[in-house]
Structure 1
Amino acid sequence: MCIESFLRYIRYEKNFSSHTVLSYRNDLLQFVDYYFTCKSERFSPKSVDRDLVRNWIVYLVEKGRTPRSISRKVSTLRSFFKFLVKEGIIPFTPIQNIQLPKISKPLPAFLKEEEMDLLLDGIDFGDNFRGVRDKLIINMFYSTGIRRGELIGLQDADVDIYMSAMKVTGKRNKQRIIPFGKELRIQIEGYRSVRDRDVKGEHKTFFVKEDGQPLYPELVSRIVTRYLNMVSTLTKKSPHVLRHTFASAMLNNGAELNSIKELLGHSSLASTEVYTHITFEELKQSYKQAHPRAEKKGGRYEN
């Protein structure tokens, strides 16, 4: 059977793993079952046309298959029919200009404002060097939206408390200026005072460890995870979650999307627009919780 020939081809000539070959086999047999249901005849690749493939996709959608699962199955068919064309079994592939269901990307995880208020106002970080530094790290992520690598790379000369602004070097060495508020300025002054008192060295790098050496990525992630665990039940807790939290808070409080784009250092506005979906989801939840008829029969607010 041509399916078995194809499976041998991808296993021994393309060196696909046995697990992948099994997945291809299952996908193809599911399609053959659908073919038989529609045509009531033995499977023949020459009888497969574009309409049959499209109808199969509709069938999979109606069965509740996810867009990602459907996309994989169609990819299997595409490889199979491409092999048949290569072997001269069929003149052309029916998998042409097939429109697949869109794969929705998960929304970025973020903390609520009240969770951040609890963390920054209600948690005791301590007044020693490590506590002062760690609290500033958390608040700098939340107040500026910078990336982990950008925070680690901050030089002491980059942070100007008189201008209340910092120079950040982002991806591809692109630099931008990020303003900050009074609270962060006071914390920066306090951190510098404790650092200069307790840690030896010239401190060309803004954030340092107790031995005066620069921070490293894993340490920053551990610091963030430790404190976010105290206030949040999110599965994912990372510096990037605080970057998302910054963007969400800015948008919820009236900032323009283009301004957020510049602050985050995005090269395209499309990267920033994902945060509008976050705020819309919040808006839907607020409506469903607050409106008296949102959940009533005949008046349910649809997702």
Structure 2
Amino acid sequence: MTITYFLDYLNLEKKYSKHTIIAYKNDLNSFQEFCNEEYQNQEISSVNYSQIRRWIVSLVELGISNRTINRKVSSLKSFYKFLQKTNQIQANPLINHQPLKVAKTVQVPFSEKEILEILKTNDEDDFESVRNKLIVELFYATGIRRSELINIKITDINFDNETVKVLGKRNKERYIPLLKIVQNNIQKYLNYRLKINTKEPYLFVTLKGKKVYDTLVYRIINNYFSKVSTKVKKSPHIIRHTFATHLLNEGADLNAVKELLGHSSLASTQIYTHSSLGKLKEIYNQAHPRSQKN
């Protein structure tokens, strides 16, 4: 019954989706079934950490991924927090539990060929086509985040200094250089934008004159790259990843890339060096005296 009370509490909180509550229910029932088999129907509200640890080991032995196991344990931890809050237990047995390590998934950047294939396509000469192509180009030319692109104002473009000002995380401003070809395409887009009835200060707007939004930008990127790439993920973030990878492949300084991306620490930027490892191996094999050159 304790699990039922917990699920009722989640429903009353109205902060959790139906899908999330079902996941909680399945995770808790799964552990209760384990307790029924291993500990003679012991209630999960009265188990200790070593018993929970045995459940985790059994999940590993079943070949369940560490990510899924961590989610199940997180459900259990939330359950114990509820029991503590309602004075049904004194201490949370999972208070000192460390999640299992989850391997970071390697995000595969787009190739230069894929990017150039999109940028060279001849689209219709209308407002939406010009805007959409510019969105792709600006992502690749600057490495900015989706939220940063959406919030660029016309006044953030400085043609004299050839830069764009973006507002990053924690309201941190940074200035990113603009290639001449990108400046020309911004000017072309602005000429089309003049015909749109809008008072929005933002650079990118819809045909109805409203500020562009997250799903629209994602859809634009996905539609373009679906034509040239078979990669599973086709998103603005992958273009950001591509921007950093291509710069590093061409010998750009890691600290410079860090500044362009708006990262607060070098550790955040270093994840992109993994994608450049293939290029590094190629240079190494060509340059090292002991390499087996053909």
Could you tell me whether the CA contact under 8 Å between 1:54 and 1:98 is conserved in 2? no
- Closer, same or farther in 2 for the Cα pair 1:78/1:147, shift >3 Å? closer
- Closer, same or farther in 2 for the Cα pair 1:7/1:81, shift >3 Å? same
Aligned residues: 271
Q: How does 1:142-181 map to 2 (within 5 A)?
A: 142-181=140-179
Instruction: Give 1 or 2 for the bigger CA radius of gyration.
Output: 1
* Deviation at residue 113 of structure 1 after TM alignment: 1.8
Q: How does 1:91-240 map to 2 (within 5 A)?
A: 95=94, 97-108=96-107, 110-121=109-120, 123-192=121-190, 205-209=202-206, 213=209, 215-217=211-213, 218-240=215-237
What's the % identity of the aligned pairs? Answer: 38
With structure 2 as the length reference, what TM-score do the two structures score? 0.71
Matched, 1:10 2:2: no
* Deviation at residue 144 of structure 1 after TM alignment: 0.5
With structure 1 as the length reference, what TM-score do the two structures score? 0.69
Could you tell me whether the CA contact under 8 Å between 1:248 and 1:275 is conserved in 2? yes
Q: Secondary structure at the match of 1:176?
A: strand
The worse-fitting range, judged by mean Cα deviation, of 98-107 and 131-140 is 98-107
Matched, 1:262 2:262: no
Q: 2: CA distance between counterparts of 1:201 and 1:65?
A: 53
- Closer, same or farther in 2 for the Cα pair 1:179/1:14, shift >3 Å? closer
Matched, 1:70 2:53: no
Q: 2: CA distance between counterparts of 1:276 and 1:181?
A: 24
Could you tell me which residue of structure 1 aligns to residue 17 of structure 2?
Answer: none
Return the match for 1:20 from 17, 21, 24.
24
Q: 2: CA distance between counterparts of 1:78 and 1:29?
A: 17
Could you tell me whether the CA contact under 8 Å between 2:35 and 2:41 is conserved in 1? no
Could you tell me which residue of structure 2 aligns to residue 276 of structure 1?
Answer: 273
Could you tell me which residue of structure 1 aligns to residue 292 of structure 2?
Answer: none
Cα deviations by residue, 1:16-45 (Å, 9 ceiling, x for unpaired): 856633431222212443x36xxxxx4667
Q: Secondary structure at the match of 2:268?
A: helix
- Closer, same or farther in 2 for the Cα pair 1:15/1:176, shift >3 Å? closer
Unaligned runs of 5+ in 1: 37-41, 291-303
Could you tell me whether the CA contact under 8 Å between 1:252 and 1:279 is conserved in 2? yes
* Deviation at residue 13 of structure 1 after TM alignment: 5.8
Q: 2: CA distance between counterparts of 1:144 and 1:182?
A: 13
* Deviation at residue 178 of structure 1 after TM alignment: 0.2
- Closer, same or farther in 2 for the Cα pair 1:49/1:22, shift >3 Å? closer
Unaligned runs of 5+ in 2: 13-20, 286-294
Q: Secondary structure at the match of 1:141?
A: helix
Q: 1: CA distance between counterparts of 2:92 and 2:128?
A: 63
Q: Which amino acid aligns with 2:221?
A: V
Cα deviations by residue, 1:47-106 (Å, 9 ceiling, x for unpaired): 965445434433432331211232244345556777499547xx8665453333123444
Q: 2: CA distance between counterparts of 1:163 and 1:54?
A: 60
* Deviation at residue 264 of structure 1 after TM alignment: 2.0
Could you tell me whether the CA contact under 8 Å between 2:166 and 2:174 is conserved in 1? yes
- Closer, same or farther in 2 for the Cα pair 1:96/1:183, shift >3 Å? same
Q: 2: CA distance between counterparts of 1:277 and 1:114?
A: 20
Q: Which amino acid aligns with 2:64?
A: R
Matched, 1:30 2:34: yes
